[in-house]
Structure 1
Amino acid sequence: MVTHERTLSLASHPFDKGSADAILASSDHIAYRVHTQILSEWSDFFQDLFSLPQPTTKLGTRKDEQLLLDGLPTITVSESGETLDTLLRFCYSVPDPTFTQLDKLRPVLEAAVKYDMAQVVEILKWRLEGFVDQEPLRVYCIACQHGFERIASAAAREVHRQEVQESFIDELGLITPGVYNRLLLFCKVPITTPWRFCIPLPTPSETHHPVPHDVPHGNHPASISALDSADVILRSRDGVDFQAHAFLLRLASPHFEGCLEELEHAAEPGAEEEKKLTQRLALEEDSWAVSRLLEFIYPARNHDLSNVQEHIELIALLRKYGMDRMATHLTTALWALDAEPLLIFLLAMEYNLSDQAARAACASLEQHGAKLLEYHPAMDHCERISGDTYFRLLKHYRDFQSFVTSWSATLLPSVWKSTIATCPDHECNLRDTFSKNFTESIQQNQSYRHAATSMETLYTLFDASQYCCCHPADRAALMKFSRELACQLEAALPKFDPTKNMRDSIHT
């Protein structure tokens, strides 16, 4: 039950009956008079809700005026009047609504799932499948959002047939990067064996963070500080206490320093700190994160980080606590792992490390395009990013290919002229051969660095040519040209901006 700050308008038939015993108020302030028995038959959610004790009425109080309308309990929902009206009509003895637009069906389906209306969901699944031929990519995303595997599979086949997998739609924001990755892989080489789209197949490489019971207490880094001199307790989000020393926390972190000052000002005078720990600081992080954080505060502790995710999560944590020097050190260690730029990009976006996401996006341009289609378990485990984020990186790579191809057609001759000054006939022959090889490499998803500077490419040009170099400096000049080309190209490339969403990128 929630309050109403403005007058509600009454819905049309059949939701205006005087026999109703409850009111549902839409987000746009339309009152639907409903029968609790009917809704309870169609919705387990409403059955449970209406079984709860209803508020008692006592006329004359503002609170009761807000909870009641015409003497009936009023429940405000987040759906619009149009969505709520359509949803409720499935429950009453009126013709079922029809849908000519997917935009109208999607919010009704989400509401039916939200309110646990199983029969309505089944009807809407059938209606959703009717849009597969018209809008297969949107249907794929909506089906995967709700776990409708059969419909997702049918939509994926149609996406492949129509070749629309690289089109942008808002519904990409409903799915995980992993769901979108599986569609792209399917469209690249259609899978004939059993294939799942909504959820990933199990992989042995999946890892998890240890929870407190996984790690013996003695292995917690704060256990070395469980001494009489400890004067503060850090309590993690999951209720694990860590004894620590305030002076070390202050020294290491401006964030901790501010929190401890607030605790001291709030402390009661005369507390016997010698006998017990009186400073208790509740943290937002779980015990794994607090344990790792203390490893960077207490000396002589080993930073035994096993994977990319742990590095990125701790970089974000260290930055939050103002431990920038240690965060920089860990960032260097992250890039020394020689991990896939795609994985770093996804996790950096997940933890809002924009600078590292931009760096990873740039690094991905130096790889073969197939690397961006490799699956990583993090694609399905990230909670803050979606298929939209993954799409942006892929589009950035495609835009880069188009840019490089166009750029090379105009800039190759001018760069060549400034770096090679030998026989004009041989110069043109070399230039044309190199230009063709460079452009073809880019179109085949090779990285621009490989296309511009690969020694194998350079020597192939000489071996395949129908002439001999007319000047000893030709080979050195060609190598100089390739390096200059790569440098100018890198400077001219469009940069990836992690702070923009896909709509902003399109308008830009």
Structure 2
Amino acid sequence: MDSVSSFDRPDRDVVLLSSDQVKFGCHKSVLSIASPFFSDMFSLPQNLSSSAQPSDDGSTEPDGTPIIPMTEVSKTLDTLLRLIYPVELPTLEDPYHVAEVLSAARKYLIIPASNCLTTLSRSFDTFLTNSPLPAFAVACLCNMQDEVAKAADHILAAKALRGNVLNAHLATLSDTHVDLFMKKGSSASFYRLRHNLSVRANASDRTQEAPTSSLVTEVAVPIAEYRASLAGPIMQSSASLFNRIPPDVVLYTRHDVPLRAHKLMLIGSSPVLASMLDTSTETAADGAAILRLPESAELLRHVLHFCYGSMTSIVCPESSDVDARLLVDMVHIAEKYAMDKILDAMKMLLRTFIVSDPLQTYYAAVLCGWEDIAREAARCSLAIRDPDFTYVTLMEECPASAHAAFVRYYATCKQVLTEARRKRYSRGGGASSFDPDYNFILSGTHTRAEGRPALESGVLLRKTLRALPEEHVKIAEGIYEREINKLKDAYAYARSSSSMLAAPIKYPQPTSLLLNESFQMDLDMHTALDKVELEFVSTILTQP
């Protein structure tokens, strides 16, 4: 039963119905004056406004007054209408509520100079000035691009706050709005804020090209050409099976695209689909059972490929790349229909990208809830230059907490490696004769999608990174390089001394501890990193 709002005057000539089914009796003339959107709507010829008879479809009241469904909840509509009508003004204490009403006002083109928009803007600007980070969080959640940019300006101006945001040290800054943003906002939004602050603070771009023109989350568009290459018919290589044994099930997809399959294959692949088939009473003209599923034809086509034993339908045959968003969708549909074999196949497939595309793999693992893969991918991402300032498309889908946790993990890795190095070379009461800087391991020359920018839109890349040596090899190479340089200097000095004294050259000898130094440092590094990774993934995957 519909609730009744305070807008229930008997002389109303239009009813606005909120998304939670509360009716607001309004006046077309008042709404038209406040909003060109409503003015244009009411000026159009339509049965809804001209009918004086009640309808059975819920489009009019019993007295024939037209009902207009709205997407806003009743609380938002009530505040908006109170600011439009000459009635008692509502209280504007909750910034999130103010942002929701302000977004609705802009959506319905409320006149900018009106008291409604002025009051809302002034209220939110006060909150933005006093609490820029919570204001940024609210503005992102409400998709308010102008306010997001203003909040970023205020955060940039506050040096301590800017540092905490860049390092994702939000514990002391957290409030209700920031916590909500960490759960419901996107990693991409938080990344863009950090990237924006870093670029403007340092006056130079530190990272690869990324969508930084906007600080508001934008949903990525899949690569049409890439997906088209995967959209072949089911069991194309074994089409004779469908000729010998006619399919006896028709799956109708989200847009009523029919996909034919065999009942036994579906029953063997999914107990959920088996139960649905047992209770289905709808049949096609040829007697085939009909199932109506809410998923897209593209996704269900891949599911059927797996049901028939094709484990590579989502893998691009030319490059072996995989659409990351498609893989995540496959995992979610497999979980929904209890298709364990598909889950195992997707997990095995994602593991193959841990080294070649660790960042995209990390965010994919977070979306799939696979802690072990997320941990391994985060560890491998240390081989990428500035991974905490590197964009991947799946950030658009992940909660902001995933990016914040990764940033803190990366910062902690740098810290513990520096500490391990300090301890190693402070033993024995002094520094080693050669004291290499092991932080170079965390600032490698590799970048994601190097040489292949056209595939940046959400594809797990198979060959993006050159073959990376193991950490102990990189450490050994670093020590060798520094030792060789030291020997070169010593050799030059020996030659000059010998020429001055007319004596034989005493060639310098390399240290006998070279290999032991390399592998011991490798052990220290791995021990230190192992202590970091045990904590960071759980902070992402255990969130409600």
Normalising by structure 1, we get a TM-score of 0.67
In the TM superposition, what are the counterparts of 1:220-231 in structure 2 within 5 Å? 226-227=242-243, 229-231=246-248
Name the counterpart of 1:283: 293
Aligned with residue 350 of structure 2, among 318, 330, 334: 334
**1:430 corresponds to:** 432
Whole-Å separation in 1 of the counterparts to 2:482 and 2:23:
76
Unaligned runs of 5+ in 1: 58-63, 418-423
> More deviation in 314-323 or 287-296?
314-323
1:236–1:284 CA contact under 8 A, matched in 2: yes
Distance across 2 between alignment mates of 1:304 and 1:30: 45
Partner of 2:480: 459
Aligned residues: 455
| CA–CA distance in structure 2, aligned partners of residues 291 and 31 of structure 1 | 43
**1:477/1:53 Cα in 2 relative to 1: closer, same or farther (>3 Å)?**
farther
The equivalent residue for 1:60 is: none
Decide which of 237, 253, 256 is 1:239's aligned counterpart: 256
Between the aligned partners of 1:335 and 1:348, the Cα distance in structure 2 is: 9
Cα offset for 1:236? 1.9
Mapping of residues 102-251 of structure 1, within 5 Å: 102-103=95-96, 105-113=98-106, 117=110, 119=112, 122-123=117-118, 124-125=120-121, 128-129=124-125, 131-143=127-139, 148-163=144-159, 164=162, 165-166=165-166, 168=170, 169=178, 170-171=180-181, 175-190=185-200, 196-198=213-215, 207-208=223-224, 226-227=242-243, 229-251=246-268
Q: TM-score, normalised by structure 2?
A: 0.63
Secondary structure of 2:541 counterpart: coil
Shift in Å at residue 84 of structure 1?
5.7
Structure 1 residues 464, 292: closer, same or farther in 2, change over 3 A? same
1:444-496 CA-partner distances (Å, limit 9, x unpaired) = 7999x859962233335645779989973x22322331232134224322241
CA distance in 1, matches of 2:9, 2:424: 77
Shift of 1:277: 3.3
Q: 2:340 aligns with which of 324, 344, 348?
A: 324
Once residues 316 and 104 of structure 1 are traced to their aligned partners in structure 2, the CA distance between those partners, rounded to angstroms, is 32
Give the aligned residue type for 2:34. W
Shift of residue 207, structure 1, vs aligned partner: 1.0
The offset of 1:91, in angstroms, is 0.9
Change in 2 beyond 3 A, CA 1:140/1:490: closer
**Structure 1's 452 and 151: CA in aligned 2 closer, same or farther, altered over 3 A?**
farther
Residues 368 and 446 in structure 1, CA contact (< 8 A), matched pair in contact too: yes
Distance, in Å, in 1 between the alignment partners of 2:71 and 2:331 is 40
Query: Deviations for 1:206-245, whole angstroms, at most 9, x for unmatched residues?
Result: 5148889995768878966543532222222221212222
Matched residue, 1:398: 411
Cα deviations by residue, 1:7-50 (Å, 9 ceiling, x for unpaired): x8x96xxx798877789899999998865642454354697799
Shift of 1:287: 0.9
Partners of 1:235 and 1:242 within 8 A in 2: yes
Relative to structure 1, the CA distance from residue 160 to residue 54 in structure 2 (aligned partners, 3 Å threshold; closer, same or farther) is: farther
Shift of 1:257: 3.3
1:485-504 aligned within 5 A: 485-493=524-532, 494-497=535-538, 498-501=540-543
1:54 deviates by: 8.7
Query: Which residue identity is paired with 2:295?
Result: E
> What is the percent sequence identity of the aligned residues?
18
* Bigger mean CA offset, 232-241 vs 143-152: 143-152
Distance 2:18 2:251 in 1: 44
2:431 aligns to what SS in structure 1? helix
Unaligned runs of 5+ in 2: 171-177, 206-210, 317-321, 447-469, 491-507
| Secondary structure at 2:290 match in 1 | strand
**Matched AA of 2:351:** W
Per the alignment, do residues 226 and 45 of structure 1 end up closer, same or farther by CA in structure 2, a change over 3 Å counting?
farther
Q: 1:208 to 1:443 in 2, by over 3 A?
A: closer
Which among 521, 524, 527 is matched to residue 482 of structure 1?
521
CA RMSD, aligned part only? Answer: 5.4
Which amino acid letter does the alignment assign opposite residue 491 of structure 1?
D
Are the structure 2 counterparts of residues 282 and 359 from structure 1 closer, same or farther at C-alpha, using a change threshold of 3 Å? farther
Please point out which of 299, 302, 309 is paired with 1:292. 302
| Maintained 8 Å contact 1:210/1:288 | no
Distance in 1 between residues matched to 2:30 and 2:274, nearest whole Å: 58
Q: Structure 1 residues 258, 217: CA separation in 2 closer, same or farther (over 3 Å shift)?
A: same
Q: Matched residue of 1:281: which SS?
A: strand
Counterpart contact for 2:111–2:117, Cα < 8 Å: yes
Q: Distance in 2 between matches of 1:315 and 1:29?
A: 35
Q: Tell me how far 1:344 sits from its aligned partner.
A: 1.9
The answer on whether the counterparts of 2:139 and 2:145 sit within 8 Å (CA) in structure 1 is yes
Contact 1:183/1:197 (<8 A) preserved: no
Q: What secondary structure, in the 3-state scheme, does the structure 2 residue paired with 1:197 have?
A: coil
CA contact (8 A) 2:434 2:482 kept: no
Greater displacement, 119-128 / 242-251: 119-128
User: More displaced, 400-409 or 288-297?
Assistant: 400-409
Instruction: Check 1:260–1:373 CA distance in 2 against 1; reply closer, same or farther (3 A cut).
Output: same
Question: Is 2:77 the partner of 1:92?
Answer: no
Deviation string 1:160-218 (CA, Å, 9 cap, x unpaired) is 33242335424455654333333322222237999621468999x95148889995768
User: What is the CA–CA distance in structure 2 between the aligned matches of 1:225 and 1:136, rounded to whole Å?
Assistant: 63
In structure 1, the residue corresponding to 2:259 is in which secondary structure? strand
Shift of 1:370: 1.0
